[in-house]
Structure 1
Amino acid sequence: MSTAGVRVATADDVADIARIQVVTWRTAYADVLGRAAVDALDEAALAREWTDAVAHPGSTVYLAEEGRFAVGFCVAGPAPAGEVATADGAVPPDAATTGLVATVLVEPRWGRRGHGGRLLATAAAGLRDRGCVRGVTWVAESDSASLAFFRRVGWDPDGTVRTLDTGERTVREVRLTGGLDLRLET
Structure 2
Amino acid sequence: MAAHTPTADHSVRVAWADDAAAIAAVQVATWREEYAGVLPAEVLDAMDPEQFAAAWHQALQKPRDARNRVLVALERNDVRGFAVTQPSPDPDSDPVADGEVAELVVAPEHRGAGHGSRLVHAVVDTLRADRFTRATCWLNADDDVRRRFLTDSGWAPDGAHRSLDLHDDGSVLVKQVRLHTDLRED
TM-score range, shorter chain: 0.7 to 0.9
Q: Is the 8 A contact 1:53 1:61 kept in 2?
A: no
Spell out, residue by residue over 1:110-161, the C-alpha distance to the aligned partner (whole angstroms, 9 max, x if none). 1011101111111111110111111001000011111111111121111111
Q: Highest CA radius of gyration, 1 or 2?
A: 2
Q: Is the 8 A contact 1:33 1:171 kept in 2?
A: no
Spell out, residue by residue over 1:97-122, the C-alpha distance to the aligned partner (whole angstroms, 9 max, x if none). 11100010000111011101111111
Normalised to the residue count of structure 2, the TM-score between the two structures is 0.85
1:31 paired residue among 13, 19, 37: 37
Deviation at 1:169, TM superposition (A): 1.6
Greater share of helix: 1
1-structure distance, mates of 2:182, 2:163: 25
Greater relative contact order (Cα 8 A, min sep 6): structure 1 or 2? 1
CA 1:37 to 1:155, structure 2 compared with 1: closer, same or farther past 3 Å? farther
Deviation at 1:75, TM superposition (A): 0.3
Runs of at least 5 residues in structure 1 that lack an aligned partner in the other structure? 86-90
2-structure distance, mates of 1:77, 1:139: 16
CA 1:2 to 1:130, structure 2 compared with 1: closer, same or farther past 3 Å? same
SS in 1 for 2:142: coil
Spell out, residue by residue over 1:70-116, the C-alpha distance to the aligned partner (whole angstroms, 9 max, x if none). 10000002223xx251xxxxx5xx55211100010000111011101
Which region of structure 1 is more displaced relative to structure 2, 115-124 or 50-59? 50-59
Runs of at least 5 residues in structure 2 that lack an aligned partner in the other structure? 1-6
CA 1:68 to 1:152, structure 2 compared with 1: closer, same or farther past 3 Å? same
2:84 paired residue among 75, 79, 82: 75
RMSD between aligned alpha carbons? 1.9
CA 1:44 to 1:135, structure 2 compared with 1: closer, same or farther past 3 Å? same
Deviation at 1:32, TM superposition (A): 4.1
Normalised to the residue count of structure 1, the TM-score between the two structures is 0.85
Q: Is the 8 A contact 2:74 2:80 kept in 1?
A: yes
Structure 2 partner of 1:88:
none
2-structure distance, mates of 1:126, 1:157: 21
Give identity over the alignment, percent. Answer: 36
1:150 aligns with 2:159: no
Q: Is the 8 A contact 1:64 1:119 kept in 2?
A: yes
Structure 2 partner of 1:61:
70
Which region of structure 1 is more displaced relative to structure 2, 49-58 or 106-115? 49-58
